[in-house]
Structure 1
Amino acid sequence: MVAKQTRVRKKKNRIRKAMPYLLVGPLVIWILLTVFLPLSSVIRESFYSTGFVGTQGDFVGFENYMNVFGSAAYWGAWQKSLLWVVGNMVVQTILAFSVALLLNNNRKISQMARTWMIIPWVIPTIVVAIFWQWILNGSYGVLNDVLLSLNIIGEPLNLLGDSTWSLFVIIFINSWHWFPFLAVILLAGLSGIPKELYEASAMDGANKWQEFWKITLPSLQHTTFALGLVGTLWMFNIFDLIHSLTEGGPAGTTTTVPVLIYQEAFESYNLGNASAMSVVTALFLIMFAVLFVRFAAPKD
């Protein structure tokens, strides 16, 4: 009887130890199938002169990588991508912090505003693109109609077709789309800061600006670190909004790295070169992530 109970107990212990692996196993298999297999395929294609998807190219070694490092278009796309990331970071940070601080200081409208403010974020990207094209169109756009009727401008503006303003306009549109998500996260972080800290600082004579730099921002360092890392990588890889609005134009002024890779693969039919671009870009982003974690991670 005792031996039987011992065997049953050992069996239960084995099941208990195996349960985490059984629960996590399907997710790991799914990640391997959906991430690492396509990634390995991209790495393989970067060594071949593949043109169309599904065709077999010749092995060319590191020739595609040499073409990438010597490509003026690729490094020009990097310049636009960096401007895109920095622009989004600045605009979204200002908007998100402003809204989060406003709602945190006004609890009466906070609950209602949390629901309404995320509407831009939940709208599908293609709908956002159509919506803003309708507003900004140089021929029938609502913005031009309003400005012309108020005699603010003398002729219609085509902001999305202007090589000077197109990238900045898309930065604004993308920031409008995403800042509510950041604001909700920051608002959650603000709600966790003890009110006693602000009361003590007020007694010491600190103003609102000093409270923000000495209490609010340091208290949100873990939140801002996570948003800085994930948000930067996320923003860099945005493709759908840019392609839907301008397809990289006019004259390549909105051709960021993801847009260039798409054009190289599916418009220029140079899948091998596009794969090499993808690998090089991924390595740069991994380097950024490692350095960001190394130097920007919260110390406590």
Structure 2
Amino acid sequence: MNADNSTVKASKAASEPMPSKPKWMIWKTIFPYLLVFPIVFWILVTIFIPLISVVRESFYDTGFAGSAGEFIGLTNYINVLTSSAFWSSSGRSLIWVLGNGLLQTVLAFSIALLLNNNRKISNIARTWMVIPWIVPTIVVAIFWQWIFNGSYGILNAILINTGLIDSSINFLGNPSLTLPIIIFINSWNWFPFLAVVLLAALANIPEELYEASAVDGANRIQTFRFITIPSIAPVTFAIGLVGTLWMFNIFDLIWVLTEGGPAGYSTTLPVQIYQTAFRQYAVGSASAMSVITALILVIFATLFIKFAAPKE
């Protein structure tokens, strides 16, 4: 009898509908997704949709931006890869990245090590040294154009008054000087930020490591090589990866200073893409160039992460 009652109760329980979740539990489940949705939507609108549009346009012979083009398949890619202008600008981009990387690394490391060894002035210097980095790019460009101007630039005036030169030099109009000067200007603008990051990494290295190395008789070079460099490896790895990608894509400073001139001697890939799209009115070719450039950067980032990532 008891068994029959148990069977009846179980069948009734199974036939009854499951109680619904309280509203507060449903809200608790969807609330995190509501918080994330705005940024996901923003990324979708500003990155993925334009990216898909660029990839699509690379297969069309579109001229003006917004106009309809005819599907031509891989023709744009073939034209870009066989173009001397593309490879010339690629070479200048490589020089640009290497020059900025070397100069900024030397300056940032020198300043960071100097300030790390003198804690009295480091707190004040951290505030003032980032001023070049926070100044808008257009202001930086106008400031340095005034210094290097061939007609009324202050640098020419100083060199002439000191007798080092007899006549004014058009620094930004000289093919052999243009790119090195822009590299110097960009490095001046960016190295303070890198120095502050490195200084923070150096400050987190335990003093006990240096004390132990001193007891073992290590000199400064050995201490720097075996303690300082490995301790800040995660920071230098991040700077190397993000900084390289960032430097490669810089367009505004070069464009404001020279617009890629003279005679294309400061035309890097971002400048070449812009000129192709909005000066030569070949949006399809510029899109193909952009896709190829993006693939190059993805390959670089993948290899950099694989071979340069700090070991645990």
Q: What TM-score does the superposition give when structure 2 sets the normalisation length?
A: 0.92
Report what 1:89 is aligned to: 101
The one of 210, 219, 237 aligned to 1:198: 210
Instruction: Give the counterpart letter for 1:87 in structure 2.
Output: G
The one of 148, 152, 159 aligned to 1:147: 159
Report what 1:271 is aligned to: 283
1:235-274 aligned at under 5 Å gives the runs 235-274=247-286
Report what 1:3 is aligned to: none
Q: Does 1:63 align with 2:75?
A: yes
Alpha-carbon separation, structure 1, partners of 2:299 and 2:260: 26
Instruction: Give the counterpart letter for 1:177 in structure 2.
Output: N
Larger radius of gyration between Structure 1 and Structure 2 = 2
Instruction: Give the counterpart letter for 1:227 in structure 2.
Output: I
Cα displacement string for residues 111-138 of structure 1 (whole angstroms, at most 9, x for unaligned residues): 1111110000000011101000000011
Cα displacement string for residues 80-119 of structure 1 (whole angstroms, at most 9, x for unaligned residues): 0000000000000000011111111111111111111000
Alpha-carbon separation, structure 2, partners of 1:298 and 1:35: 30
Q: Does 1:180 align with 2:163?
A: no
Residues 203 and 36 of structure 1: CA distance in aligned 2, closer, same or farther (over 3 Å)? same
Report what 2:294 is aligned to: 282
1:82-161 aligned at under 5 Å gives the runs 82-161=94-173
Cα displacement string for residues 196-218 of structure 1 (whole angstroms, at most 9, x for unaligned residues): 11111112222222111111111
Instruction: Give the counterpart letter for 1:167 in structure 2.
Output: L
Instruction: Give the counterpart letter for 1:109 in structure 2.
Output: I
Alpha-carbon separation, structure 2, partners of 1:102 and 1:89: 20
Alpha-carbon separation, structure 2, partners of 1:9 and 1:197: 57
Alpha-carbon separation, structure 2, partners of 1:297 and 1:16: 39
Instruction: Give the counterpart letter for 1:73 in structure 2.
Output: A
RMSD of equivalent CA atoms: 1.4
Unaligned runs of 5+ in 1: 1-5
Instruction: Give the counterpart letter for 2:110 in structure 1.
Output: S
Higher mean C-alpha deviation, range 72-81 or range 50-59:
50-59
Secondary structure of 1:140 counterpart: coil
Report what 2:64 is aligned to: 52
Alpha-carbon separation, structure 1, partners of 2:62 and 2:218: 64
The structural deviation recorded for 1:8 is 9.2
Q: What TM-score does the superposition give when structure 1 sets the normalisation length?
A: 0.95
Instruction: Give the counterpart letter for 2:126 in structure 1.
Output: R
Alpha-carbon separation, structure 1, partners of 2:292 and 2:25: 47
Aligned length: 295
Instruction: Give the counterpart letter for 2:273 in structure 1.
Output: I
